[in-house]
Homo-oligomer: A and B are copies of this chain.
Amino acid sequence: MRPTVHDIAAEAGVSLATVDRVLNGRPGVRRQTVEKVETAVSRLGYVRDVMAANLARRRIYPLVFVIPAGPNSFMRVLEAEIAAAMGRSSVERTSIRIETVPPFDSGAIVRVLDALDPQSVSGVALVATDTEEVRIAVDRLIDQGVQVATLVSDLPGSRRVHFCGIDNIAAGRTAGNLIGRFCAGRPGKVLVVAGSLKLSDHMDRASGFAAVLKSEFPELEIIGPVETNDDADAVRSAVGAALDADPHIIAIYNLGAGNRGLIEAIAARKPRRPAVIAHEVTRHSRQALADGVFDAVINQDCGHEVRSAIRVLKAYADGLNPLSAQERIRIDVFLKDNLP
């Protein structure tokens, strides 16, 4: 039988309320008493029953997710995952709100962040654009006692408590490694397509990719990255133009969104067949894998990211820090055969 607060109280010779105060780090207890309770705790090996605690506390965690609006399939999947989490909110004791903002619009993010009432929201998860004004807004929320985590794209230099996403440098390296092996020693050029270099995840992928090609596959030369703002039409014309202009392009790495445009540009230039790697499993990329248009897709499990964000935000709101192993998001590699 594991020990309860009653056992601690008896062992320490104090009342339940005092035990509770110590356990929750509330003020109004003498040092002496605190220590008595703490020794009792460690002597009996007490661990609090979180479920009972939450039940008694009737605590709910008001959480806000700030994500880009627009047609980006990945972001829509992300939104669906957040919606799914809202469905579980009664059992997880959360109250989740989604705020969508125009993509790449730091000002809009800042406005949403600034409008938040720090009294009535315990945590915020946002897909950040990497700009100074967002950094300031995030740090201000932190100062107000709101827990903030970045989602998908990080905000380096800010004081966000956690980043729920993948190591994007490693993701870029992985893409580079795959492209290099798929080309198998054949020399040529690789077109790199990005959404926006104002996004730290895109920056990171580009640099990881370039590093691997330079050191391990020097026979491959990088063209780009060309910026498309994650717009499918822009991707289509950029890729089309590059392909038409340079017959030595034997591979393409799209490290941003707009896969639909990429697929169209390649389809229009059959039977030419570059090695292609893109990011995120969506309706389009899934189809492209099946059709043999894409060779591999690098993915982050956004369901996992959302669940992780919720766990992390709740934990920090309770003054605990989460177990890192559980919260690390994998860099998935999908071929057509191991698609989930």
Contact = CB atoms under 8 A, between A and B. Distances in A.
Interface stretch (A118-126, A172-180, A233-241): A172-180
Contact of A340 (B50, B54, B171, B330): B330
A312 to B, nearest CB: 17
Interface stretch (A11-19, A150-158, A331-339): A331-339
Contacts of A333: 332-335, 338
Contacts of A295: 181
A68 to B, nearest CB: 24
Contacts of A303: 325
Nearest to A330: B340
Nearest to A166: B338
A299 to B, nearest CB: 10
Contacts of A54: 51
Interface in A76-114: 90-91
A170 interface: yes
Interface in A26-75: 47, 49-52, 54-55
Interface string A309-340: 00000000000000001001011111111101
Given A91-B49, A332-B330, A337 B212 contact: yes
Contacts of A330: 301, 330, 332, 338, 340
Interface string A281-321: 00000000000000100000101000000000000000000
A151 to B, nearest CB: 19
Contact of A336 (B49, B90, B177, B332): B177
A186 B186 CA distance: 13
A209 B199 CA distance: 39
Nearest to A298: B338
A272 interface: no
A332 B334 CA distance: 8
Contacts of A49: 55, 91
A55 B47 contact: no
A332 B335 contact: no
B91 A47 contact: yes
A65 B338 CA distance: 28
B55 A52 contact: yes
Contact of A181 (B90, B181, B325): B181
Contacts of A186: 184
A77 to B, nearest CB: 13
Given A50-B91, A333-B334, A333-B335, 13 more contacts: A47-B91, A51-B54, A52-B55, A170-B337, A171-B338, A177-B336, A177-B337, A181-B182, A184-B186, A208-B337, A330-B332, A330-B338, A333-B338
Interface of A: 2, 47, 49-52, 54-55, 90-91, 170-171, 173-174, 176-178, 181-184, 186, 208, 212, 295, 301, 303, 325, 328, 330-338, 340
21 contacts: A47-B90, A47-B91, A49-B55, A51-B51, A51-B52, A51-B54, A51-B91, A55-B55, A170-B338, A171-B338, A173-B337, A181-B295, A183-B184, A208-B337, A301-B330, A303-B325, A330-B330, A330-B338, A330-B340, A333-B333, A333-B338
